[in-house]
Amino acid sequence: MVLIKKTYKLIIIAFIMLIVVIPIIFPIFLLLNDNKFTNIDIELHFNGDTTYTYVADQINLNTTHYRIPGTQGREDCAQYFITKFQQIDPAINYMLHNFTIHSVDCQNVLFKINENFSNIVILGAHYDSRAKATKDSTNPDLPVPGANDGASGSAVLIQLAEVLYKRRQNLTVQIWFLFFDAEDQGDDLGAGIPEWEWVEGSKQFVLEIDNFYNSLEENFDAMILLDMVGGTNLRFINEQHSTSSLLNELFEIGRQLGFTNAFPIDPIVGTIEDDHVAFLNYRIPSADLIIKFWNQPAEWPYHHTTGDDISHISNTSLEITGKTVEQFIYNNYYDNIDEYQGNFPWRDDFNLLDSELLMLILIILPIIGLAVVILWYRSRLMKKSLESY
């Protein structure tokens, strides 16, 4: 009888321990799991000051229309990219992807380095600027300069090409630098260009992607999209279309480089219809580095306003983005890959328990535990009172 009582007591204690211990252990497990790799030790060469001048260059090409699809400014910007990449390597392979949207001539621009490798990483950004500043309370019909929304990601791509090209012989990957036209003309309190959808350029590109690689011999490892990466107070979001194992790895890399404000532990969650979605639909693991630009208070309040100009661009933000992507490439593709264990091949797309659900579990489990203890204590008291009769 005593033995049965003791066993009963032990089971109860074990049960209570489980209920108390699991909520404590689980978050620790998540944190440990999140921190399972270390950046390889290598000097990063990406420079934010240089990149800043590439943002300014794009804006100054045409200060009347900036890079609106179908304008001279857009054409001049494509030519600017070609000039910059031919300065890197006069023989660089580039391909122009011409298409039309509602009979407006548009053009994506693609540069490739290390074509001898069959595995490809795509680094992408849109370069068109929005035709109308539809969120501007005073000048909604003026064009957006697009310093952040367009030019920042494109500028980072140019500097990344310069930096990575110099180390191309140590890299075991083919890299594409892909500039999209016609991303930013959809409806946001009014269309940028009437009847246009968002992300037209990337959709058209993926429709014809077979024309740009050999699908029998080449394959895509990943696609990383940079959108609005140069604004002041840079803080990236947990973008929900993105392949989470890829996005989480970029966040971890950035944090390890010390960029803990730009890559917070608890990022804002958002779902953005951006240029990476077409590549996800083509089954390429893809991630969007983007900020919280919507609603008030937006973390960068100049989205689709005339205030999206050079005065709200930060060299530091550009450098944070560039160095993180640079480190990502070295981690995964620098000669001696063995020392690094990231999430390659980024097939996993999971979402950690969202924080609200986690909080609920943390509250409910102890309540259940407490209820069990009370019931057990009551039954003991009742037994005792019965025994005393």
Find residue 178's DSSP bridge partners: 110, 124
Tell me whether residue 77 is exposed, middle or buried, using C-beta atoms within 10 angstroms of its C-beta: 0 to 12, 13 to 18, 19 or more: buried
Closer to Zn ion by CB, 149 or 309: give it: 149
Options 62-70, 142-150, 241-249, 259-267: segment touching Zn ion (CB under 5 A) = 142-150
Is 293 in contact with 300 (CB distance < 8 Å)? yes
Task: Report how far residue 199's alpha carbon sits from residue 179's, in angstroms, rounded to the nearest whole number.
Answer: 12
- Interface segment toward Zn ion; rule CB under 5 A; list 77-85, 184-192, 251-259, 361-369: 184-192
Residues between 330 and 389 with contacts to Zn ion, criterion CB under 5 A? none
Place of tokens 């310069």: 162
Question: Under the criterion CB under 5 A, does residue 221 sit at the interface with Zn ion?
Answer: no
Is residue 227 within the footprint of Zn ion (CB under 5 A)? no
Of 156, 175, 158, 181, whose CA–CA distance to 87 is shortest?
158
Residue among 124, 93, 127 nearest 107 (CA)? 127
The set of residues, in sequence order, having a beta carbon less than 8 Å from that of 369 and lying 6+ positions away, is 15, 16, 19, 20
Pairwise CA distance, residues 42 & 334, whole Å: 10
Interface with Zn ion includes 184 (CB under 5 A)? yes
Stretch that binds Zn ion, among 48-56, 146-154, 205-213, 348-356 (CB under 5 A): 146-154
Q: Which two tokens stand for residue 63?
A: 């200060």
For residue 145, the minimal CB distance to Zn ion (Å) is: 12
Give 31 or 268: the residue with its C-beta nearer to Zn ion: 268
Half-sphere exposure of 188 (CA within 13 A, CB side): 22
Q: Which range in 7-15, 161-169, 178-186, 310-318 contacts Zn ion by CB under 5 A? A: 178-186
Alpha helices by DSSP H, listed for 178-229, are 200-207
Only segment of 36-44, 58-66, 95-103, 145-153 that touches Zn ion (CB under 5 A): 145-153
CB closer to Zn ion, 133 vs 287: 133
Q: Which is nearer to Zn ion, 149 or 252 (CB)?
A: 149
Q: How far is the CB of 129 from Zn ion (least distance, A)?
A: 8
- Would you say 116 or 296 has its CB closer to Zn ion? 296
Start-to-end CA distance of the chain, whole Å, equals 19
Task: Tell the smallest beta-carbon distance from residue 373 to Zn ion (Å).
Answer: 56
In the numeric block, the tokens 């970029």 are attached to 250
Residue 335 CB, shortest distance to Zn ion, in Å, is: 38
Cα Rg, the chain, nearest whole Å: 26
Q: What does the angle CA 88 – CA 247 – CA 149 come to, to the nearest 5 degrees?
A: 60
Shortest distance (Å) from residue 254 CB to Zn ion:
23
Minimum Å gap between C-beta 152 and Zn ion is 11
- Under DSSP, the state recorded for 353 is P
Q: Of 161 and 318, which has the nearer Cβ to Zn ion?
A: 318
Number of residues interacting with Zn ion: please give it, by CB under 5 A.
2
Instruction: Give the span between the Cα atoms of 275 and 287, in whole angstroms.
Output: 10
Nearest to Zn ion of 181, 184 (CB atom): 184
| Least distance in angstroms from the C-beta of 275 to Zn ion | 11
Shortest Cβ 136–Zn ion spacing (Å) = 13
Q: What is the DSSP letter of 276?
A: H
Q: Which is nearer to Zn ion, 220 or 300 (CB)?
A: 300
Bond before 297 cis per omega within 30 degrees: yes
Q: How far is the CB of 149 from Zn ion (least distance, A)?
A: 4
Candidates 46, 127, 129, 149; binder of Zn ion (CB under 5 A) is: 149
| Helices 315-333, 48-60: crossing angle, 10 deg rounding | 120
Using the contact rule CB under 5 A, the part of the chain among 2-10, 148-156, 206-214, 305-313 near Zn ion is 148-156
Q: Sketch the per residue contact string, 12 through 51, with Zn ion: x for CB under 5 A, - otherwise.
A: ----------------------------------------
Q: By the criterion CB under 5 A, which residues form the site for Zn ion?
A: 149, 184
